[in-house]
Chain A
Amino acid sequence: MTYAIEVTNLRKKFPEFQLIDVSFRLPAGTIMGFVGENGAGKTTTIKCILDLLHKDSGEIKIFGQDVTKHGSSIKEQIGVVFDDLYFPDTLNATQISAILEEVFSTWDESYYVNLLKQFKIPFKKPIKALSRGMKMKLSIATALAHHPRLLILDEPTSGLDPIIRDEILDIFMDFMQDENNSILFSTHITSDLEKIADYITFIHEGEIIFSKNKDDLLYDYGIWKGSLEEAEELPEDAKIRMKKNAFGVEILVNRQQASHAFQLEKPSIEEIMLFFVKGVAA
């Protein structure tokens, strides 16, 4: 299996926060959802992957090459979308094309124009006059128009309404029609990932809690609900995390370790996330 991104034992320390041995691998041709609450370390990890932050230790490879050593050749093949469009807001879509045409040898102006038409983005309107949804679509068009093999998306759908979000997810699904393409998609809107992700990597307080195939993840875990006394019947090694509520307890259970006699609900990614963030060790 080839990997689009390989992060191994990444460490980055700030006075108030640190990434601790962050490791995960994004197989080529797949979409990985990178989830975690605000401040969990998603953006810090992505910035280290893009070499915007200097890592303290660890190894980061994109397409099998070290990011710090082969930055330019790697960056020719990736498209990046942040949570906003980071161009001076007096520029317009046509000027952005003229600028990026000088940057990327593979810039495809006709494809860019098609994307602008498809997204209904005005060619000559300055960025500051565009709505947030329009800005994000323009950001995606600029990331796609040089035909990258990898998209790195840092909260591209945050603050957008469900209709625009759905349109944007469709764009990413189109991008994935080429089986060599890959996406690392950081978000805390887990419902987006349930639609499109193949893998889920969950980061909490700077540490990776799990990095798994989404289907395996949703199959492996189950939610058991009942009273604290009833919960004692569950095998100890099946219990992962527990949350108390007004009616009793909810326990995140490893299905492999629990008998079929226990009635388990299928969890969502959001529920699994909440067990790790809000719950306690069971």
Chain B
Amino acid sequence: MKALILKDLYVLLYQKKMLGVLISLFAIGSIFFGDVGLLLTFLTVLCLVQVNASLAYDETSQWNRFANTLPIKKADIVKSKYAFSLLLLFLVLVIVLPVFFITNAVYKSFTFHEFLSLLCMIMSGLLFILSLTLPIFIRFGQQKAKISVLAIIMIVIIASNVFSNGTFIQDLSGNLNFLNLVMPLIAIVIFYISFKIAVTFYESKEF
């Protein structure tokens, strides 16, 4: 599995200059405006984009066909994608935390508790989205997956609003403190279930 993560990291590092410039710009912007949320939002989107890009690269280069001729278990190939996602999540934290401490030392815009809540919510949200997208990408490939993910998100939003008579967002905001506590746990469980489903999808695939 180490080999597979290494491969994804090499692909990621190919864009190191551009990524370095963008991350630096957002970090400086966050410090300048006193809002770490800027950098956090950018890194969250970047994390999603990079995970999806690594799957897209694999598909374009037909990497999976080659990988399946190597002495690597199919489950490990899937596991490597989930591990790569978690590694990116960890890198987001490594980059965001120092910027938060610098910003907060100057502007004191968040208490640490507030920042932690925000972080929990965003990280959990990221895990939820990855839990949804990874198995779909693995099962259907990038083209069909993009449409499927969009359709699922829209269905969930519309259904939630229909069943809550349009008060879903207000209900969610009201319970935010409680949700911040349980969301990371739920996200981890869902991420694990997603991994198991992705393995089943991958094992039934032909290359």
Whether A102 lies near B206 (C-beta < 8 A) is: no
Q: Say yes or no: A86-B66 contact (C-beta < 8 A), given A47-B207, A75-B71, A103-B72.
A: yes
Asked whether A104 is an interface residue with its Cβ less than 8 Å from the other chain, the reply is: yes
**Bound complex: CA A58 to CA B60 (Å):** 32
Whether A104 lies near B10 (C-beta < 8 A) is: no
- Give the nearest-CB partner of A102 in chain B: B3
How many residues of B are in contact with the other chain, CB < 8 A? 24
Report the minimal beta-carbon distance from A186 to chain B, rounded to whole angstroms: 14
Whether A73 lies near B71 (C-beta < 8 A) is: yes
**Bound complex: CA A75 to CA B14 (Å):** 30
Q: Which residues of chain A have C-beta atoms less than 8 A from B57's C-beta?
A: 88, 90
Q: Say yes or no: A80-B61 contact (C-beta < 8 A), given A53-B207, A98-B6.
A: no
Place the interface of chain A in its size category.
20 to 34
Contact of A87 among B63, B68, B69 (CB under 8 A): B63
Whether A102 lies near B65 (C-beta < 8 A) is: no
Asked whether B73 is an interface residue with its Cβ less than 8 Å from the other chain, the reply is: yes
Asked whether A172 is an interface residue with its Cβ less than 8 Å from the other chain, the reply is: no
Q: Which residues of chain B have C-beta atoms less than 8 A from A87's C-beta?
A: 7, 61, 63, 66
Q: Which residues of chain A have C-beta atoms less than 8 A from B65's C-beta?
A: 52, 82, 86
Whether A90 lies near B10 (C-beta < 8 A) is: yes
- Give the nearest-CB partner of B56 in chain A: A88
Q: Say yes or no: A99-B207 contact (C-beta < 8 A), given A51-B68, A52-B65.
A: no
Q: Say yes or no: A50-B69 contact (C-beta < 8 A), given A88-B58, A91-B11.
A: yes
Asked whether B2 is an interface residue with its Cβ less than 8 Å from the other chain, the reply is: yes
Whether B71 lies near A104 (C-beta < 8 A) is: yes
- Please list the residues of chain B having a beta carbon within 8 angstroms of any beta carbon in chain A: 2-4, 6-7, 10-11, 14, 57-58, 60-63, 65-66, 68-73, 206-207
What 9 pairs across the A-B complex have the smallest Cβ distances? Answer: A102-B3, A86-B66, A90-B14, A75-B71, A80-B69, A52-B207, A86-B62, A88-B57, A72-B71
Apart from A75-B71, A86-B63, what are 9 other A-B pairs with CB-CB below 8 Å?
A72-B71, A72-B72, A75-B70, A86-B61, A88-B58, A88-B61, A95-B7, A99-B4, A100-B70
